[in-house]
Amino acid sequence: LYLGQVITYCDGVETMSDHQTGHAIDFFTVGFGGQADYTAAAMTAVYSCFAEAAMNLGLVIKWGGNYGSFEDLGHISLIGEV
């Protein structure tokens, strides 16, 4: 999705990403035909399920669809500790 774009400055050793620490995931959706569906509508629908579940569990998440500099619709980070 981000071919040629730098999306992290983490080196993976000294500066670890939220993915490495277990505080972030990337996801995608699969349509009825079995094909990946990266449309904003599909990704937003999945995010809304994550948001509802987080709220019910008393967790705070940050969605890549709300980033100001670029959209990363398939990214969710956990804010704080569980």
> What are the tens digits of pLDDT across the range 21-57?
888 999 999 988 999 999 999 999 999 999 999 999 9
Instruction: Decide: residue 77, CB within 10 A, 0-12 exposed, 13-18 middle, 19+ buried.
Output: middle
Token pair recorded at residue 46: 């999945």
Distance CA 39, CA 30 (A): 10
The residue that leads in pLDDT, 21 or 76, is 76
- With a pLDDT cut of 90, the percent of the chain lying above it is 52
The residue that leads in pLDDT, 10 or 36, is 36
- With a pLDDT cut of 70, the percent of the chain lying above it is 87
